[in-house]
Amino acid sequence: MVEVKTRHRDVIVAIDEGTSNAKAVAIDGGGRVVAQSSRPLQVQTPQAGWVEQDGEVLVEASLTVLREVIDSVGMQRIAALAISNQRETAIGWYRASGKPVAPALTWQCSRSAAFCEQLRRDHQEPVIRDITGLPVAPLFSASKMRWLLDSLPDGAARAASGEICLGTIDAWLLWNLTGGEAFRCDTSNAARTQLLNLQHGDWDPQMLKLFGVPREALPQICPSSGFFGETRGLDGIPDGLPILAMVGDSHAALYGHGLGEFGGVKATYGTGSSVMAPIPQPQSSITQLATTVAWHDGQRAVYGLEGNIPHTGDAVAWMAQITGLTDGKGETLSRALTELPASVESTLGVYFVPALTGAGAPWWDGQARGVISGLSRGVGRSHLIRASLEAIAYQIADVIDAMRQHPDFHLSSLRVDGGPTRNPWLMQFQADLLGCEVLRSNTPELSALGAGLLSRRALEGLDDVRLRALLPQHDVFKPNAERHHILQQHWQGWKAAVASMLEQSAKHSQ
């Protein structure tokens, strides 16, 4: 437990640095959001399959929203900070200056696909999976870190000498918040690098050698809940604010839903989607999914079975753009994305498989590209928009179907969060497709809330019983049995479209 100097300091501010937005959310002692701020973020795609962001812009946007929330709440109420962040994104910076060596390579970036394919050809995937719990894919940070070092003159040697730091976004934000005093990451983010030994909880020497990443360049791994450092040298932000939690955004959302209650599978809908189920041990033989550290609360590690989907909300945005729907903005666009799919009874047999930079779980084909199948003369914009929304639900159902192979897995409900969950048509479609209740958090900023709860755990020494009283409520979408039967048949059509995509990818790679 961390002592707070003033008893009136009841607010934790969580920075939620995502792919599309940087947010800050102030959460009071009752778990209520009392202030928030957001700034949009841009991605750059300099080549096909390359997706990157300006690391300094990520920091400045995060500091801006942090200042605004602190000003709104009042400095006298701020007890601590927390960080929730986009995962797998890798960034390198010079230790002396703190300047990035290159843009941050985001989790969507597939520029290291050729290196990953070579690992498969060299039969390294079983070893990597056994040690890290992760399949070989350009999604994860290690191959991106390797690419960053290879792109620099004497990159590996300079990293080994301590000149270059490599990290995930939590480590990058912490470095900047603490004026370069703290170089740490949390165990959930470390688990997404493909360099962590799941059994030992530390950087694995064999993986470091395989990926060519020097240990000297990597941060210290800490529990997700605990003391990471204090703010230092920031304009408009007081020195001495403790950072008491860091956790990947998807993991934070799972914590915010129910503190990892078994049977409560979580799906975060965003630019991409993460489907995660808590499991008691870090062993899994399901090759289509990743086994990861969900979080470490300072006393114990909780593990997760996860499927990562690169394109969900992103695919809807792409479809809206090419069909001209982006003429509308904000509420107008959101209303259209609810009304258009409901205005037609089906997609007329159209399936959209949005592998725009490769296919994620459960297929893991970095060379695959998206397909739209079943086009006919009667297909219009409403059908295409509906197909893009249905693709979200089908992809999540595919991952859950793979999870059913795990002996400790059971699905009592699907707990959901993220921007696309505000679409009631999509949520009902998801419930009908799966045949189980979909529980939507009525707190939009669930990742920030989860990080805030982990911070409060460290701040006040709270146990799960007391933390559970701070959890938000859920809106319930109940499945329709008749619709479930119909959608199970449509799901077979989706699977045929996926099979066609994978077949095309295999032909192109020959």
pLDDT digits (tens, 9 = 90+) for 150-176: 999 999 999 999 999 999 999 999 999
Q: Could you say which DSSP state residue 16 is in?
A: E
Cα 333 to Cα 262: distance, rounded to the nearest angstrom: 36
Q: pLDDT tens digit string along 439-460?
A: 998 887 889 999 999 999 999 9
Tokens 């199970």 correspond to 488
Q: What is the pLDDT of residue 374?
A: 94
Cα 38 to Cα 47: distance, rounded to the nearest angstrom: 28
Segments in the chain below pLDDT 70:
1-7, 263, 284, 327-330, 510
**What 3-state DSSP class applies to 352?**
strand
User: How distant, in Å, are the alpha carbons of 125, 128, 266, 286, 318 from that of 122?
Assistant: 8, 12, 35, 21, 36
Spell out the residues 6+ positions from residue 297 whose beta carbon is closer than 8 angstroms to its own: 223, 224, 225, 454, 457
User: How distant, in Å, are the alpha carbons of 104, 121, 203, 286 from that of 111?
Assistant: 12, 18, 24, 26
Q: What is the pLDDT of residue 407?
A: 82
Q: What is the pLDDT of residue 444?
A: 76
Q: Two tokens at 380?
A: 């219009």
CA-based R_g, the chain, Å: 22
Q: What is the pLDDT of residue 329?
A: 61
CATH architecture classification, 309-441+476-509: 2-Layer Sandwich (3.30)
| Burial of residue 375 (number of CB atoms within 10 Å: 0-12, 13-18, 19+) | middle
User: Considering the entire predicted model, what is its pTM?
Assistant: 0.84
